[in-house]
Amino acid sequence: MKTCEDVALKEQLLYLLELQTIDTRVKELDAARRTLPTRTEPLRRDLAKLDGMLGGERQKLAETETWKKQQADMLVAEQEALRSAKSKLQGSKTGKEYNAASREVDNKKKSIHDREVELKKVTEALSSGGTVIGERDDAVAQLREQLATEEAQIAIKVEELAVQIAEASTGREALRAKIDKPWLKTYDTLAGKRGYAVSPVIAGTCQGCQMRIPPQLNNILARMESLEMCPRCGRIIYRKEMIEPAPPAAT
C-alpha cells in the first residue's frame, strides 16, 4: 500500500523528469539558435578573401597608373629633347658637331621607341587589369547579396526559434516552484555539469553512466523510500518500471 510519502516522492520525481524534458528541449532549441549564425562563416571568409585580392589588385592598378603617367611625362620630355637634338643636327657647322648631333638624335629616337613600346604594354595591362577588377567587383557584389539574403533568412529562423524556446519554457518556473529546494539545487548542479540530471535505472544499470548499481541501492529504488543518486555519475536515479510501467504482454 502506497503511503503519502511515497506519493509525494513520486510526484517530486515526476516533476524533476518533466523539468528535465523542458530543459532538454530548450537547450536543443537554443543550441540550434546559436549555431545558425555560424552557417554564414564560410561565405564571410570567401568574401573577405575576395575583398583582399580585389584590394591588392586595385593597389597594383593604381601603382601602374602612376608609373604610366611618369613614363608618359618622360616621353614628352624625350620628344622635346629629340626636337632639340634635331635642331642641333640642322645647325651643325662641322662634321664633328654633325656626328655628335646625329648620334644624339638616334639615341633619343631609340629611347622614345622603347618607351612607347613599354607604354603600349602597360596600357594593355591596365585594360586587362581593369577587366579583371570589374569581374571581381561583380563577384564581390554577388557574394554580398548572397550573404545578405542568407543573413536575412537566418534572422527569421532565429526569431522562430526564440518563439519556440518561449513556448517550450511555458510553465517551467511554476514547475520549479513545486520541487523541493535541496533537490532543485542538486538538479541544477548536475544539469550544468552532466548535461542532464535524472537518469533511469534499467535492469540494475544506470543509463547515465552504464554502471551497475549495488543491489541494495536497487532495492531502495524499488521501495521508492527516497530520492537516490548514482554512486558513479552522481545523477538522480530511479527504476524506470516504477515510473513507466512496462506495457502489458501481447496475448
What CATH number does the domain containing 213 carry? 1.10.287.1490
| pLDDT over threshold 90, residue 56 | no
> Are residues 137 and 50 located together in one domain of the fold?
yes
The answer to whether residues 156 and 183 belong to one domain is: no
53 and 154 co-located in one domain: yes
At which of 141, 168, 195 does a domain end?
Answer: 168
Nearest to 10 by CA among 149, 179, 206, 125: 179
Helices 4-35 and 95-168, axial angle in degrees (round to 10): 160
Residue appearing with cell numbers 521501495: 223
Q: Does the pTM exceed 0.75?
A: no
- In the predicted model, is pLDDT for residue 2 greater than 50? no
Q: Is the pLDDT of residue 92 over 90?
A: no
Q: Are residues 56 and 157 in the same domain?
A: yes
Domain identity same for 10 and 115:
no
pLDDT at 3: 45
**Domain check: are 69 and 155 in the same one?**
yes
List, in sequence order, every residue forming a beta bridge with 198; answer none if it has no partner: 236
Residue 189 lies in domain: 4-28+174-243
Q: Is 92 a member of any domain?
A: yes
Q: pLDDT band at 4, cuts 50/70/90?
A: very low
- Is the model more confident about 207 or about 249? 207
C-alpha grid cell, residue 214: 549495488
Domain tally for the chain?
Answer: 2
Residue 249 has pLDDT above 70, yes or no: no
Instruction: Examine the domain organization and report whether 60 and 154 are in the same domain.
Output: yes
pLDDT tens profile 188-234: 999 999 999 999 999 999 999 999 999 999 999 999 888 999 999 99
Of 117, 142, 168, the domain-final residue: 168
CA distance 56 to 62: 10
Range in 96-110, 156-170, 172-186 with the lowest mean pLDDT: 96-110
Strand partners, 239: 201
Nearest Cα residue to 15 out of 191, 198, 190: 198
